[in-house]
């Protein structure tokens, strides 16, 4: 049996686009003699469709896609994920299902059993779990069809679930496992995914064909990395990350094992490539082309600019240098040098005049009080007004350049430097930012050394440095990581040797800044715990405040 794994980039709600992509792949696979082609989870409608699933017309369009794929299944089997209506009165209205289509018939439909409801997942909001687990015979081989999370409770060891779907299918003695998946990216997940799938294969001693989606759906990025396992528990092949591809496998060869190919999993490389894909798909799937951002001469805006150019092309990226009365001359020169290195358009618009105009307008209500964060924020908001004016007039979407360290502790101005349509670096800590800069400069010096080496500063008051308001980033970031990613409480972090007053101060800053994060752009997710849909905190919570 020749099996094609189609690792494709789907678009939520773009039924025609998704369908045409799958029909093209099916025709190609058929021409190459494939017996079966495997697509991804909810491939007809894209994942995660969220509350679109509450529209019956949305489900009707998914059903129509299945009908057209069924018509195209002459001489080739098609495994594809799609939502289906639950015919039973009790429970949720829908199932998350995988179809096996062949010779214009629906040979089998298996519903997903394990419905993740954690982090970015919210499947139990929409779907009813399966209560039947059957295999299907196809061309002399018995197949266990599964959907994504259904392989994540090997031997009932996952405390989130009470059922192991594969254990319930094994009495029928399947010859292979096929899994259609939409497994989101984070920089640890590819390695974790391999180990979970390996445990399945070792437990059941049959080969596994695992097809994962690629592409970004706003903040959630899917990396692909589809996997083929031989019955001995070894990876036969791992497909590339972040690209669409179709690969073909002879079941008999996979059964024998021997071929071994895994992708490299270097953290910063993965983050870099994920951000590029996130930017491409955010713009491409929204029908947008042009980006704009403020280029300060610092490392964050420099990296954001490089990423935008790599994702969108230099002709579609525009930057604005907006020195304040407190900006150093080298900041402007560093920003100009980067723009010239990249060959992009830049404008220099000093904010001295609008800043002073605001101060004069507000003179009476500010009542002569000393310079403080008020004046700093006015400068940041002057910059946002300039950027948004160009955005509105010329259709350039504003990119936000705030990193995760700043975002976490509220070190940013609401409606100022926190403005933007998409947060590019909001899931990357400052200490990781430096590693990303080194990666970008590994072959040629694109980002000026001074942008990397100088002390971080917002340059909104004389001789300002980030460390005036925050601990040094090499101290701050580990504490943030323990609290945000690992969800450790203050005493647990203090017990690790960190200063108690510092820990409590930092965690308080994180919590009281929640209102800012609720009003800012979606953050491209690259870590196991990003700000946004996967981290739901109350704004008015008292914890640590």
- Which positions are annotated as active-site residues? 41, 112, 148
Instruction: Say whether 300 counts as a known binding-site residue.
Output: yes
Cβ atoms 391, 417 nearer than 8 A: no
Strand order across the 141-147 sheet: 136-138, 141-147, 176-181, 208-212, 227-229, 235-238
Q: What is the C-alpha separation between 525 and 275, in angstroms, rounded?
A: 8
Q: Is 179 annotated as a binding-site member?
A: no
Q: Spell out the residues 6+ positions from residue 80 whose beta carbon is closer than 8 angstroms to its own.
A: 22, 39, 40, 43, 44, 66, 69, 98, 99, 101, 180
- Those residues whose C-beta lies under 8 Å from the C-beta of residue 11, and which sit 6 or more positions away, are 17, 18, 46, 215, 285
Q: Would the annotation count 118 as a binding residue?
A: yes
Strands ordered across the beta sheet of 422-423: 345-348, 317-321, 291-294, 397-400, 422-423
Say if strands 214-217 and 220-223 run parallel, antiparallel, or are unpaired: antiparallel
d(CA 20, CA 284): 17
Establish whether 183 is an annotated binding residue: yes
Query: Is 316 annotated among the ligand-binding residues?
Result: no
| Cα torsion angle, 510, 515, 521, 527, sign | positive
How many CB atoms are located within 10 Å of the residue 40 CB?
A: 35
Instruction: Determine whether the annotation assigns residue 348 to a binding site.
Output: no
Measure the CA–CA gap between 406 and 469, rounded to whole angstroms. Answer: 11
Is 401 labeled as ligand-binding? yes
**Alpha carbon distance 402, 106 (integer Å):** 49
Q: Does residue 259 contact residue 269 with C-beta atoms inside 8 Å? A: no
Query: Would you say 193 and 225 are in contact if contact means Cβ atoms under 8 Å apart?
Result: yes
**165 close to 179: Cβ distance less than 8 angstroms:** no
297 in a known ligand binding site: yes
Judge whether 406 is annotated as a binding position: yes
Residue 195, marked binder: no
Q: Hey, how many other C-beta atoms are within 10 angstroms of the C-beta on 68? A: 16
Q: Is 16 annotated as a binding residue?
A: no
DSSP characters for 200-234?
HHHHH-S-EEEEE-EEEETTEEEEB--EEE-TTS-
> Residue 244 is encoded by which pair of tokens?
């669409």
Binding residues for L-glutamine: 118, 183
Binding residues: 118, 183, 294-301, 377, 401, 406, 516
Binding residues for deamido-NAD(+): 377, 406, 516
């Amino acid at each position: 049996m020749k099996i094609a794994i189609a690792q494709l980039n789907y678009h939520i709600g773009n039924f025609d686009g998704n369908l045409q992509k799958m029909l093209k792949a099916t025709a190609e696979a058929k021409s190459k003699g494939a017996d079966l082609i495997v697509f991804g989870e909810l491939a007809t409608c894209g994942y995660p469709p969220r509350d679109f699933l509450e529209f019956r017309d949305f489900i009707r369009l998914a059903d129509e896609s299945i009908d057209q794929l069924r018509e195209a299944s002459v001489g080739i089997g098609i495994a594809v994920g799609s939502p289906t209506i639950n015919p039973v009165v009790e429970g949720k209205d829908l199932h998350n299902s995988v179809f096996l289509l062949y010779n214009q018939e629906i040979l089998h439909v298996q519903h997903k059993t394990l419905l993740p409801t954690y982090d970015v997942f919210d499947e139990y909001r929409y779907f009813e779990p399966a209560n039947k687990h059957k295999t299907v015979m196809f061309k002399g081989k018995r197949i266990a069809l599964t959907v994504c999370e259904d392989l994540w409770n090997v031997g009932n060891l996952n405390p989130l679930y009470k059922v192991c779907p594969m254990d319930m299918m094994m009495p029928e003695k399947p010859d292979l496992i096929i899994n259609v998946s939409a497994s989101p990216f984070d920089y640890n997940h590819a390695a974790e995914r391999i180990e979970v799938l390996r445990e399945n294969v070792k437990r059941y001693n049959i080969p596994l064909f695992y097809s994962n989606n690629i592409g970004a759906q706003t903040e959630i990025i899917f990396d692909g990395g589809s996997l083929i396992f031989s019955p001995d528990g070894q990876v036969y092949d791992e497909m590339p990350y972040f690209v669409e591809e179709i690969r073909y496998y002879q079941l008999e060869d996979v059964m024998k094992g021997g071929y071994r190919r895994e992708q490299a999993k270097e953290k910063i490389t993965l983050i870099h490539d994920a951000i590029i894909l996130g930017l491409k798909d955010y713009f491409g799937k929204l029908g947008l082309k042009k980006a704009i951002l403020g280029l300060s001469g610092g490392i964050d805006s420099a990296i954001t600019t490089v990423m935008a150019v790599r994702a969108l092309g230099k002709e579609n990226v525009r930057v604005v240098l907006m020195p304040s009365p407190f900006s150093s001359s080298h900041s402007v020169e560093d920003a100009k040098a980067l723009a010239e290195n990249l060959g992009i358009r830049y404008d220099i618009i000093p904010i001295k005049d609008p800043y002073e105009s605001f101060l004069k307008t507000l003179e009476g209500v500010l009542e002569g009080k000393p310079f403080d964060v008020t004046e700093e924020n006015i400068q940041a908001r002057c910059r946002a007004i300039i950027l948004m004016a160009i955005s509105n007039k010329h259709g350039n979407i504003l990119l936000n350049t705030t990193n995760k360290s700043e975002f976490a502790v509220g070190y940013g101005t609401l409606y100022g430097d926190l403005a933007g349509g998409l947060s590019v670096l909001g899931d990357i800590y400052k200490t990781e930012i430096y590693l990303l800069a080194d990666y970008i400069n590994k072959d040629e010096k694109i980002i000026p050394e001074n942008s990397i080496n100088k002390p971080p500063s917002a340059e909104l008051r004389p001789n300002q440095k980030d460390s005036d308001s925050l601990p040094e980033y090499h101290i701050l970031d580990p504490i943030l990581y323990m609290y945000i990613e690992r969800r450790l409480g203050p005493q647990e972090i203090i017990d690790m040797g960190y200063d108690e007053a510092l820990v409590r101060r930092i965690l308080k800053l994180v919590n009281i800044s929640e209102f800012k994060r609720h009003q800012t752009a979606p953050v491209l997710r690259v870590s196991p715990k990003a700000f946004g849909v996967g981290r739901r905190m109350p704004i008015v919570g008292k914890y640590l405040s």
